[in-house]
Amino acid sequence: MKFKHLAWLSVGLALCVVVLGAFVRLSDAGLGCPDWPGCYGHLAWPTESHEIEAANELHPERAVEPHKAWKEMVHRYLAGILGLMVLAMFIWAFKLRHKQSYALPLVLCFVILFQAALGMWTVTLKLHPSIVMSHLMGGMLMLSLLTWLACSRTESITPYRYAGHVKRSMVVMGLVLLVFQIALGGWTSANYAALACQGFPACNGQWWPEMDFIQALDIFKKYGPNYEFGVKDGPARMAIQMMHRIGFVVVTLYFAWLIFKLTRNRELLPLGMTLAALLLVQIMLGIINVTMALPLPVATMHNGVAALLLMTMVVLLYKTRSEQTP
């Protein structure tokens, strides 16, 4: 196996971890295991009746729900495997340091460690929204860095020969807007605000309902010992949902313009068409989420397509780099 094959395999696994993490969160299984790194003191999760009884005595505040516990533990094990793969890439790159840089694999090792800490805090701080959103964004950062690493080790992905249609600054701006929108989506999910607004495009029959943006943007305030199912009031949740919708409009308009620019160049046309297809799918998934009360498969796909959009933008950023950029 070549280094690039391991890198792309890690990208695929990272995407699975991000999507599975969304599935765990959206199926209310984030506290399926109230301890860390095990589950009710088990390496896997309690399944036998006597194990469940003992676990309930150990954690009387949260009875065992096997259908939630297994989701959480599978997610942890996959994340652990990904961590080992990243460590292997660092060791491999370090041994070949006379040929290629090992800086990015080293950075990825630290990102993985911090992600593990965020995963622990997600459980120990009982789904605090700020930690939950940070855990999501850490996963997206990990996926982005792995994508860049894989691109840098793939000889066929060469720099774009500038023809004046697409400047790197255009891609950077699109990437910044997308990251901000993903963060808003994570904040919406972490505060259980996805269904705060019924109907689309209006919110509960109003174009601008009464909202509390101060509480909506309060990321540090402690409300209680447990943040499961959200603790912010209705006006704050509506504000969070409306910010996500406004971000959707901004990102859609900018990406439509960027896609137009991309499709004017034959070399970047495939990436432009990929962005267009993913953007259309994401818009439809977002509308379905609101109009059909957040179906779990659709909501999970919404997170997955966001990750694919991010990966595509990272590839585009790599394509528009200068020849000297590592």
Q: Mind listing the pLDDT tens digit for each residue in 147-169?
A: 999 999 998 888 877 656 788 89
User: Is 267 an annotated catalytic residue?
Assistant: no
- Compare 6 and 96 and report the one with higher pLDDT: 6
Residue 324 has pLDDT above 60, yes or no: no
- Compare 132 and 230 and report the one with higher pLDDT: 132
Q: What single-letter amino acid sits at 295?
A: P
pLDDT tier at 53, thresholds 50, 70, 90:
confident
Residue 163: its pLDDT value, please? 55
> Chain-centre distance of CA 275, in angstroms?
17
Q: How many residues does the chain have?
A: 326
Mean pLDDT on 65-87: 94
pLDDT tier at 183, thresholds 50, 70, 90:
very high
pLDDT tier at 89, thresholds 50, 70, 90:
very high
Cα–Cα separations (whole angstroms), residue 245 to 126, 201, 248, 287 = 27, 9, 5, 10
- C-alpha angle 240/299/151, rounded to 5°? 95
Residue 157: its pLDDT value, please? 86
Residue 160: its pLDDT value, please? 78
Cβ neighbour number for residue 97 with a 10 Å cutoff: 10
Pick the catalytic residue: 51, 61, 65, 72? Answer: 72
Q: pLDDT tens digit string along 192-236? A: 999 899 888 889 889 999 999 999 988 876 666 778 788 888 999
Rounded Cα distance, 148 and 150, in Å: 5
Mean pLDDT on 5-19: 96
What three-state secondary structure class fits 244?
A: helix
Residue 59 has pLDDT above 80, yes or no: yes
Residue 323: its pLDDT value, please? 53
Cα–Cα separations (whole angstroms), residue 145 to 33, 121, 318 = 29, 23, 11
Residue 326 has pLDDT above 70, yes or no: no
Among the ranges given (49-58, 73-82, 116-125, 168-177), the one the predictor scored with the smallest mean pLDDT: 49-58
Closest CA to 10 of 159, 103, 112, 101: 112
Rounded Cα distance, 50 and 73, in Å: 20
Mean pLDDT on 68-85: 94
Residue 117 has pLDDT above 70, yes or no: yes
Rounded Cα distance, 97 and 275, in Å: 35
Residue 222: its pLDDT value, please? 66
Residue 57: its pLDDT value, please? 83
Residue 111: its pLDDT value, please? 96
Question: With 0-12 CB in 10 A as exposed, 13-18 as middle and 19+ as buried, what is 43?
Answer: exposed
Q: pLDDT tens digit string along 266-323? A: 889 999 999 999 999 999 999 999 889 899 999 999 999 999 999 999 999 999 886 5
